[in-house]
Amino acid sequence: MLVRTLFLIALSWGVASAHALTVEEARAVALGETDARIEALSKAVANADDKTAAFLQALADDSVKVAGDKVFIVKDGKGIDPVSGAPVDIPADAEDVVSNNRMRGELDTALGAIRLFSPNAKERAASVKALAAEPDASRLPLVEKALQSEQVESIRAQLVLARAAILIASDDPARRTEAARSLASSRDPATKTLLLARLKEEADPAVKSALEVALRQVESSLAWADRAGQMFSGLSLGSILLLVALGLAITYGLMGVINMAHGELMMIGAYATYVVQGVFRKFFPGLFDWYLLAALPVAFMASALMGAILERSVIRFLYGRPLETLLATWGISLMLMQGVRTVFGAQNVGVENPSWMSGGVVVMGALQLPWNRIIIIGFALAVLAGMAWLIARTRLGLFVRGVTQNRPIASCMGVNTARIDTYAFALGSGIAGLAGCALSQIGNVGPDLGQGYIVDSFMVVVLGGVGQLAGTVYAALGLGILNKFLEGWAGAVLAKIAVLVFIIVFIQKRPQGIFAVKGRSAEA
C-alpha cells in the first residue's frame, strides 16, 4: 500500500508532461520482480504518452510477450514494437508476460491516472467514473490533484463526488461529515449503497445524522430519476404505438375495414429494412451508416404496394361485411407470415443500428436515454406532422376527408371513391412499413413481429376515435405512459389487464372515443 501511495503522489504531480516510452522502460515494466516492475511503472507513467498508455493497456489485457530482453505487443496475432509502434515478427520462443493480482491493480491505477489527465474530456470522465466506483484512500492525492487542474464543470463535479466517496471512510469525523454533505447531491445508485453501508458502521451521532440526511436526498433524486425514466419509456412506447396505429386509423376510419394483416404490413417494412442493410453491407460498406435513410422509402413503398394489391384483389369485394373482412385479412396475415418464413427463415434476423443511433444521453445521474429511442420519438412526430399536412393541405387529403365524412355525397360530387380507397389503404400500409422500419432499430425482426402490436394498435384507434388523427395521438401517448407507470407499480401482466379494463370502461361511457367524427351524418 505504501508503494502504491508513493507512486500515486509522484504520478499526480508528474503526469501532465509526457515523454516517449523508451525500450528500457518497457523492458523494466514487463520483466523482473513485482516490486521492481511497480517502481519502473511509476517512472514510466509519471510522464506518460499515448504509446505508454497503449503498452500498459496491452499488459492489462495479457497481450504482451517477451523473448530474451525484447518486448512485443500482440494484436490480432501480429507483433508490434511498443516503443516505435512498427510491426515486428514475434520469435517462436516468445513467452507471455504474467502479472499477478498486485501488478494488475497497479496497472489499473496507472491507466486510470493517465486517463484522468488526458486531453480528451470523455476519457477523463470515464476515469473519474471508474475511480468513484472503487473508492480507495490511496487514490486521494490523485483525485485532489485532478481537481486543481480540471476545467470542465461536469467532470469537476464528479471529481468532488469521487473525493467524497473516499473521505466517507476517513478517520476524521469532520471529513466524514463533509463527505456526507457532498454525496447528498449525487444521483448515482452506487452512492446510495455506499451511504447505507457506512451508516451501519458509523458510531458518531453527528456524522450519522449527516449520513441520514444525505441518504434521504439521494433517494429522492433517484426517485425522480426513476419517474423520468418511466415517463421516457412511456413516450417511447407511445411513439411506437402511434406509428403502428397511424396507418390503421386511416384504413379503419375511411373504409371500416378491420385489417388483421396490418401487423404483417409492418413486418414487411422491417424486412425491407433488413434487405437494404444487406445491400449496403455488400455493395456500399463505406456508406453503411446511412443505410437507414435509404431503407425508409423502400420500407414505405414495399408495404404500400402490398397494401394496394390486397385492397384491389380482396378487400374491395368485402366492404360492408366486417366479419368476412376480419377473417379474410386474418388469413392473409397467416399467408404473409408463412411467405416470410419461406424466404427469410423462421429465425429472427439481425438489423444493426447505425453508429449515430448507438449510445445514449445520460441525464439525472444514472438515467440514460438511448439515442435510438429518442430518434424514433422524433421520427414518429415527423410522420405525424407529414400525415396532418397531407390530410389537411392536399387534394388527396380533401378527398379522403370527404369520403370519410359522407361517402355517398362525395361520390355524387365526382370523387372516385374506389380509387381513393386504394390510395388511402396504400398510404396506411406504407405508414405501417415505416413503423416496421423504426421497430427494426429497437427489437428483433421476425415473422411474428406484427402480432405483438396489432391488438394494441386497434385499442389506440378505438380509444382515440375512429379516423381521428388527434385522438390517435392522445390515445397512443396516453396508453404508453399509463402502461409504463402501471408496470412499475403492478407488473407487466397486471398493467396490461388494467389498461384493457380502462379502455372497456371508457368505450362504454364514450363509444365514439376521445374525438368523435364530425359531419352532416355524424350523431351529435
Q: Cβ of 172: how many Cβ atoms within 10 Å? A: 11
Contact present, 399 and 410 (Cβ < 8 Å): yes
pTM: 0.69
Q: What DSSP letter does each residue of 210-279 carry, written as one string? A: HHHHHHHHHHHHHHHHHHHHHHHHHHHHHHHHHHHHHHHHHHHHHH----TTHHHHHHHHHHHHHHHHHH
Closest CA to 521 of 409, 411, 414: 409
Q: What's the confidence (pLDDT) of residue 517?
A: 55
Averaged over successive runs of 10 residues, the pLDDT of the chain (524 residues) comes to 44 47 77 80 68 79 82 82 81 80 78 72 75 68 75 78 79 83 80 82 84 86 82 85 83 75 91 93 89 93 93 85 86 91 88 85 76 90 89 85 79 84 88 90 86 81 73 83 78 76 78 61 42
Distance (Å, whole) CA 341 – CA 348: 10
Distance (Å, whole) CA 360 – CA 378: 15
Bridge partners, 80 (sequence order): 73, 87
Distance (Å, whole) CA 59 – CA 97: 8
Distance (Å, whole) CA 268 – CA 271: 5
Contact present, 465 and 291 (Cβ < 8 Å): no
Cα-Cα end-to-end distance for the chain: 82
pLDDT tens, 81-135? 887 778 888 887 788 887 888 887 777 777 776 777 777 777 777 777 776 666 7
Q: Where are the beta strands (DSSP E) in 318-462?
A: 360-363, 367-370
Distance (Å, whole) CA 451 – CA 449: 6
Cell 371513391: give the residue: 417
Burial of residue 483 (number of CB atoms within 10 Å: 0-12, 13-18, 19+): buried
Q: What's the confidence (pLDDT) of residue 48?
A: 64
Task: Compute φ and ψ for 367, nearest 5 degrees.
Answer: -80, 120
In the structure grid, which three cell numbers stand for residue 401, read together?
A: 376527408
Q: Give 3-state DSSP helix, strand, coil % of the chain, rounded to 5.
A: 70, 5, 25
Domain map of the chain by residue range?
Answer: 2-167, 256-356+370-452
In the structure grid, which three cell numbers stand for residue 16, read together?
A: 501532465
